[in-house]
Structure 1
């Protein structure tokens, strides 16, 4: 029981710290140290050190030459690579989802689409991102492409971090809202080619928004 408790403590610390980075509570490039992180999370140093090591391995935290830690910065190159890969993988996933989706799946996706629309209309930007990712995750689930899903999951949190960052610095345009609806319509119509094309365009348009927003922020900082 004690061993399981320690394992839960380690995992909880890891997930809590990772979430702080994904949500930009800890900002890109921000210097951090064990003492401040332990206080923030309300944990002891032992599980924290293991969480830090895991997040260093995943490139969410960076150890500098002087040994100090900082939150991994965001980069235009990384976001471009992540979203390009997503566009290819998720295009195939949408195609397969259009082939496999049951009427029950379409109903569930329609409920998700309602949540996406409502959050967009209410200006709840972070909820819009969360519901959008749930929509994408469910498509992966019903696609049946397990290897695609595993590879995509390795990029998921990094992609989510960029989307949350973009949302913190401005609104998504109406195009992003409409694109989810287009994808759903193609899947409901069992249009495999259309679903793949709509998904690829959606992710590449999201990339364009992210690049534009990040470039604008970078220009302001350097002005």
Structure 2
């Protein structure tokens, strides 16, 4: 099992443990289908069993861990069906956010989007998947923040970790995906700059559709994950 360490700002140990373990799943340090145990994580995280148990339960609630019939937990397997379901919701939320954001856009907002796009452009040229995924997510997050709809933000936050895990898979598996994604986001930004809500929605919908295709391609060309090979017997 990959070593997992606490990382992040100084908040409560419970929050740090949750963020660190969630990142380990999203960043693929813990592979899809990998069994996780309190014993295996305790030494790296350095937190009490009670905090670790609560953290693992929260990740189970988030859909990042699944419970086996024998009570053990493992990292949720990947599946094309889940990808399709997630991206249907993502596309619907993005449509609402883009439409609302264009109507509320200020010059300062546009500058923030430009800066986020520039950062993504810079990160697309380096070999660091986690950094690239974070900067891409930042561009999308800004659109939701500009739209200012707390409901769409809340729903997006629920599915974001699972989406980010699939983005890691596609970026690492599909050659040239970061460059194509950059071009797609540039078209989104151009529509925002022009104040054209319809064009912005069309560009964002196209980007999300291409992202889904990339994830599916990555999954269908990779080795089967641990969903069918993990030993679920009671130790």
TM-score normalised by the chain length of structure 1: 0.90
Q: Please say if residues 38 and 44 of structure 1, whose CA atoms lie closer than 8 Å, have aligned partners that are also in contact.
A: yes
Which residue of structure 1 lines up, in the alignment, with residue 190 of structure 2? 185
Tell me the distance in 2 between the aligned counterparts of 1:192 and 1:208: 24
Q: Please say if residues 181 and 207 of structure 2, whose CA atoms lie closer than 8 Å, have aligned partners that are also in contact.
A: yes
Which residue of structure 1 lines up, in the alignment, with residue 20 of structure 2? 16
Q: What's the CA shift for 1:157?
A: 1.1
Work out the number of aligned pairs and report it. Answer: 216
Q: 1:40 to 1:166 in 2, by over 3 A?
A: farther
Tell me the distance in 2 between the aligned counterparts of 1:92 and 1:197: 12
The question of 1:44 aligning with 2:58 is answered no
Q: 1:122 to 1:34 in 2, by over 3 A?
A: closer
Q: 1:36 to 1:124 in 2, by over 3 A?
A: closer
Q: What's the CA shift for 1:121?
A: 2.6
Q: What's the CA shift for 1:145?
A: 2.1
SS at structure 2 position matched to 1:121 = coil
The question of 1:202 aligning with 2:207 is answered yes
**What runs of 5+ residues in structure 1 fail to find an aligned partner?**
1-6
* Structure-to-structure mapping, 1:134-149, within 5 angstroms: 134-149=138-153
Tell me the distance in 1 between the aligned counterparts of 2:63 and 2:224: 25
Which residue of structure 2 lines up, in the alignment, with residue 34 of structure 1? 38
Q: Please say if residues 98 and 191 of structure 1, whose CA atoms lie closer than 8 Å, have aligned partners that are also in contact.
A: yes
Tell me the distance in 1 between the aligned counterparts of 2:162 and 2:121: 24
Q: Please say if residues 66 and 74 of structure 2, whose CA atoms lie closer than 8 Å, have aligned partners that are also in contact.
A: yes
Tell me the distance in 2 between the aligned counterparts of 1:32 and 1:124: 25
Q: Please say if residues 34 and 48 of structure 1, whose CA atoms lie closer than 8 Å, have aligned partners that are also in contact.
A: yes
Q: What's the CA shift for 1:16?
A: 1.4
Which residue of structure 2 lines up, in the alignment, with residue 212 of structure 1? 217
Q: Please tell me the root mean square deviation across aligned C-alpha atoms, in Å.
A: 1.9
SS at structure 1 position matched to 2:89 = helix
**What runs of 5+ residues in structure 2 fail to find an aligned partner?**
1-10, 229-235
Q: Please say if residues 93 and 196 of structure 1, whose CA atoms lie closer than 8 Å, have aligned partners that are also in contact.
A: no
**Most deviating of 107-116 and 211-220:** 211-220
Structure 1: 4+ residue segments shifted above 4 A:
219-222
Tell me the distance in 1 between the aligned counterparts of 2:56 and 2:128: 31
**Most deviating of 111-120 and 134-143:** 111-120
TM-score normalised by the chain length of structure 2: 0.86
Cα deviation per residue 1:183-216 (whole Å; 9 max; x = unaligned)? 0110111101011111111011100000011100
The question of 1:80 aligning with 2:84 is answered yes
